[in-house]
């Protein structure tokens, strides 16, 4: 277990004062490796709060560059970062918050060719992508790599979050679901508009990203009741949270009783790429 330095003891003393965290919990955070997919609206608050919490290594994968219209919700970036790679800007933001954190950047798109090698080098994944191609790629890769996935998605005024860890079972011995137990297949291209087409209220990204970071920290520490087997829905206009159950679906094509997906080949495109994370 990673030991804490005197500087870390001072920095994290509010965590150390928590009975359910303490020094052993902070050491778990320091030893943890978390991959954040996308350095945009969700990835920004996720990465910044994980850094503040003392997660030892944060990986960020995104090939996009900062644009002025990102700044309304992507709080890791500033006007002076316009034109820079988002992974570089996010790395600087993380180190401004906590220079003790190690950051591993991947200025590339996550795709069928690199997903397994990247994801397998981390303990847990937080998906901050904004398109179905990447979400399903991440979810399938996490299933094959046996890595917990903190899943989140944004609407214009709402958001959704869950934790997928289908390589484990609940207290009754039932397998936890995958994303494909909730939605077996992504919707047809063009059926569901993304935030660039319909817009998103900036603070919604902060609400959902912060909840996503909380789920990651809880999973690392083994605290409380996770969202595994549940989908949390936030309605920003009504200021209301709802939780619905997600059960393992024996008919789902990935982890069902008779699976038809055995690798990531279905995600391969002619150019070997998937859509960029937001």
Band of pLDDT at residue 195, cut at 50, 70 and 90: low
Domain boundary assignment for the chain: 10-263
Exposure b/e, 162-195, CB count within 10 A at least 16 = b: bbbbbbeeeeeeebbbbbbbbeeebeeeeeeeeb
- Predicted confidence at residue 269, as pLDDT, reads 72
- CATH architecture, domain 10-263: 3-Layer(aba) Sandwich (3.40)
Number of other residues whose CB lies within 10 A of the CB of residue 21: 19
Entry pTM: 0.94
Ramachandran region, residue 92 (left: φ > 0; alpha: ψ -120 to 50; beta: rest)? alpha
pLDDT at 207 over 80: yes
Band of pLDDT at residue 198, cut at 50, 70 and 90: confident
- How do residues 85-106 score in pLDDT, each as one tens digit? 999 999 999 999 999 999 999 9
pLDDT at 194 over 70: no
Q: What are the C-alpha distances in Å from 113 to residues 28, 104, 141?
A: 31, 19, 11
- Predicted confidence at residue 192, as pLDDT, reads 66
Task: Return the minimum-mean-pLDDT range out of 39-48, 72-81, 134-143, 265-274.
Answer: 265-274
| Rounded mean pLDDT, 47-68 | 98
- Predicted confidence at residue 224, as pLDDT, reads 96
């Amino acid at each position: 277990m990673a030991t804490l330095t005197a500087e870390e003891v001072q920095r994290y003393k509010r965590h150390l004062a928590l009975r359910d965290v303490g020094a052993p919990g902070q050491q778990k955070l320091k030893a943890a490796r978390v991959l954040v997919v996308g350095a945009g609206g969700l990835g920004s608050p996720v990465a910044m709060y994980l850094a503040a919490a003392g997660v030892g290594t944060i990986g960020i994968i995104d090939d996009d560059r900062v644009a002025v219209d990102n700044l309304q919700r992507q709080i890791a970036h500033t006007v002076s970062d316009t034109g820079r790679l988002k992974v570089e800007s996010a790395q600087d933001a993380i180190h401004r918050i906590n220079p003790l954190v190690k950051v591993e950047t991947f200025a590339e798109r996550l795709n069928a060719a690199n997903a397994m090698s990247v994801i397998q080098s981390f303990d847990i994944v937080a998906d901050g992508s904004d398109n179905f191609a990447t979400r399903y790629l991440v979810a399938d890769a996490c299933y094959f790599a046996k890595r917990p996935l903190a899943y989140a998605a944004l609407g214009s005024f709402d958001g959704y979050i869950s934790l997928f860890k289908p390589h484990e079972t609940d207290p009754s011995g039932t397998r936890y679901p995958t994303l494909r137990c909730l939605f077996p297949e992504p919707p047809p291209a063009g059926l569901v508009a993304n935030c660039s087409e319909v817009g998103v209220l900036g603070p919604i990204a902060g609400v959902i990203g912060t909840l996503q970071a909380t789920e990651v920290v809880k999973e690392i520490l083994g605290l409380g009741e996770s969202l595994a087997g549940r989908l949390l829905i936030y309605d920003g206009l009504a200021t209301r949270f709802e939780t619905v159950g997600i059960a393992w679906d024996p008919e789902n094509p990935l982890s069902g009783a008779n699976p038809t997906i055995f690798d990531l080949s279905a995600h391969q495109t002619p150019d070997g790429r998937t859509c960029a994370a937001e």
